[in-house]
Copies of this chain bind each other. A is one copy, B any other.
């Protein structure tokens, strides 16, 4: 059994290729605000982070799944070892990588922090939820809190003293956040009294930290209906004394925890606030009814992290399948299929296994590119702020455009890749011992939480496409068009670039069609096709970024001796990009044709026509 064993695998060479050869992180390091960082430090963080996760966090993944969370005396107990791992994670400083210096952070580029987040989430997704959410709450307070709030909360949420959660969902307010019924009443001392029930709260309670700070959306008495009337509150589990030690209960009780398909080591709690009438909270900042905008800060960060969770488990699933395929002997070469006495070969020699491996490789590396593209845009926006605000705004626009892609496409692909990894192992893939079935179960939540993937698709087509008057999306399309023009004559990659060109054209045309539906009163056609559009845009972007990488690899290959390990590495990058261009990218134009069918059968079918139940 796998219980005491780390099964997580990462390929650090691939991280280094992306950061330094493809995404040009070297051009940002050493310059403000990353003046303390160089290539060597980044390499060390990756190596030490990987070692830390394999030693400390990874071995708790299988056992945490087996054991799950439980409630004792009304409190959540996390699986054995989680508390110790939490302490070690913060002692090692990994969670403070991208944090601001003023709160004890190390000011690393987001791209670097994201690579570590992938390693952490891949080694133990359930565990990684607790620090991830705590960091998200810290970032919200750092952005919107009063100076006192920043002083009180940010460092403690960043160094593991306190944990954090985000409390949006209620029994009748899931995707429809604006239906929330939790109420806040302002007290004479400026604090608020909270009543309400929140459900599906990840890390909603735990035994990891001294206190849990709930970031909670509630409606102040008399506020408007819908999302506009929501305000954001900091609600501690234990009242906070003047010296920030924990006082008595703040009337937040755990109503129960859910029994789930996966991420069992992450508690998913029902929380009851103010059942005794003594739950008090602080408003984030000083102005009411800003809750939704403030929460979006955290949600955007969380959505990126969900995409990264997807990349993380998918990557380890792929690498585990690869490792297995290199060792497992089964069957003879197809060239000798009629000869029963032909020697057995490792299954990596079988064409269908190679196909599955290359499919996984291309998709894993593709969604990682998507996330790093976002991260580098974010880092550039930060670098340019106050120096070239126009360009900073462009980069921030690209971040906004990419968030739904990273979240939704990253999560959907992750599940598909984990499924392929199971298939690669055959019957062994279905066993708990190999860990891949857990990746698959864990990954299924990624398409649901932090806004379902349909919410992401509607965010993309209903909000992001038209942001900045549509200029962000147009420039995104132009970048790809420019690459196609510059690459279609390339000896190795020219025909792939042409496929990309067709995808880009189909994508832009379909965007026009969607806009037409919005404007022509056929708004119901939009949600029918939004997921498909998000997939088209994601595949176009991934196809592009894989080809960008392959072009670099092709250049390097020319000067890399065959005896060098990098020779095979670069060839792998090229074949993965070509595979994607020939097997996935043509799907963009195909989906555009399907959307052009304007099929409305799902609207036409009568409710009673679905089945006679």
Please list the residues of chain A having a beta carbon within 8 angstroms of any beta carbon in chain B.
1, 9, 11-14, 169, 172, 174-176, 178-179, 200, 224-229, 258-262, 318-319, 322-323, 326, 329-332, 334-335, 340-341, 344, 348, 350-352, 354-355, 357-358, 361, 415, 419, 422-423, 426-427, 429-433, 437, 440-441, 444-445, 447-449, 452-454, 523-528, 530-531, 565, 568-569, 571-573, 575-576, 578-579, 582-583, 586-587, 590, 593-594, 597, 599, 601-613
Distance, CA A594 to CA B79, complexed state (A): 47
Which of B226, B340, B437, B609 contacts A341 (CB under 8 A)? B226
**Distance of A388 from chain B, by nearest CB (Å):** 36
Report if A599-B611 is in contact (Cβ < 8 Å); known contacts: A169-B427, A330-B172, A423-B452.
Answer: no
Nearest B-chain residue to A597, judged by Cβ: B582
Smallest CB separation, A498 vs chain B (Å): 12
A152 to chain B, nearest CB (A): 32
Evaluate contact between B261 and A432: CB separation under 8 angstroms. Answer: yes
- Are B431 and A449 in contact, CB atoms less than 8 angstroms apart? no
Contact of B444 with A330 in the complex, beta carbons under 8 Å: no
CB distance from A425 to the nearest CB of B (A): 9
| Shortest Cβ distance from A458 into B: residue | B352
Check A331 against B176 for contact (C-beta < 8 Å): yes
Q: Are A444 and B440 in contact (CB under 8 A)?
A: yes
- Min CB–CB distance A202 → chain B (angstroms): 10
Alpha-carbon distance A397/B247, docked complex (angstroms): 78
Find chain B residues with CB under 8 A from A430 CB. Answer: 260-262, 444-445, 448
Closest B residue to A525 by beta carbon equals: B351
A to B CB contacts below 8 Å, 11 in the list: A179-B331, A351-B524, A351-B527, A352-B528, A358-B605, A361-B610, A422-B448, A430-B444, A575-B602, A575-B604, A582-B601
Min CB distance A412 to B, Å, is 10
Query: Which residue from chain B places its CB closest to the CB of A587 in the assembled complex?
Result: B590
B330 and A11 contacting across the interface, CB-CB below 8 Å: no
Q: Is the interface of A mostly helix, strand, loop or mixed?
A: helix
Q: Do the beta carbons of A599 and B582 come within 8 Å of each other?
A: yes
Assess the B322–A611 pair: CB atoms within 8 A. yes
How far does the alpha carbon of A319 sit from the alpha carbon of B612 in the complex, in Å?
10
Question: What is the bound-complex CA distance between A576 and B606, given in angstroms?
Answer: 11
* A572/B528 in contact, CB under 8 A: no
Contact present for B604 and A568 (CB under 8 Å): no
Contacts of A355 in B (CB 8 A): 527-528, 602
CA distance A147 to B12 in the complex (A): 65
Contact of A260 among B172, B431, B454, B528 (CB under 8 A): B431
**Which B residues touch A448, using CB under 8 A?**
422-423, 426-427, 429-430
Residue of B nearest to A259 (CB): B432
List B contacts of A261 (CB < 8 A): 422, 430-432, 437, 440-441
Which residues of B are found within 8 Å of A225, using beta-carbon distances? 340-341
Residues of B within 8 A of A351 (CB): 524-528, 602-603
Residues of B within 8 A of A228 (CB): 340
List of B residues within 8 angstroms of A611 by Cβ: 11, 13-14, 318-319, 322, 361, 572
Whether A583 lies near B594 (C-beta < 8 A) is yes
Residue picked from A11, A429, A601, most chain B C-beta under 10 Å = A601
* Chain B residues in 8 Å Cβ range of A169: 427
Complex Cα gap A14–B610 (Å): 11
- Separation in Å of the A551 CB from the closest CB of chain B? 16
Known: A260-B437, A334-B527. 4 other contacts (CB 8 A): A260-B430, A361-B611, A430-B445, A582-B601
How many Å lie between the Cα of A529 and that of B332 in the bound state? Answer: 19
Bound Cα distance from A352 to B225, whole angstroms:
25
CA distance A317 to B432 in the complex (A): 24
Would B419 and A200 count as touching, CB distance under 8 A?
Answer: no
A531: B residues at CB distance < 8 A: 352
- Cβ of A440: which chain B residues have Cβ within 8 Å of it? 261, 444
Contact present for B441 and A426 (CB under 8 Å)? no
A610 touches B579 (CB 8 A): no
**Among A260, A355, A437, residue most surrounded by chain B Cβ atoms (within 10 Å):** A355
Evaluate contact between B579 and A331: CB separation under 8 angstroms: no
- Which chain B positions have C-beta within 8 A of A604? 575
Beta-carbon contact of A613 and B322 below 8 Å: yes
Task: State whether A326 and B607 are in contact (beta carbons under 8 Å apart), knowing that A426-B452, A594-B583 are contacts in the complex.
Answer: yes
Nearest-neighbour CB distance to chain B for A265, whole angstroms, equals: 15
A592 to B74, CA, bound (A): 59
Which chain B positions have C-beta within 8 A of A319?
Answer: 611, 613
Find A608's partner among B318, B452, B565 (CB 8 Å cutoff).
B565
User: Per a CB cutoff under 8 Å, which of B330, B341, B358, B610 touches A572?
Assistant: B610
Instruction: Report the minimal beta-carbon distance from A37 to chain B, rounded to whole angstroms.
Output: 24
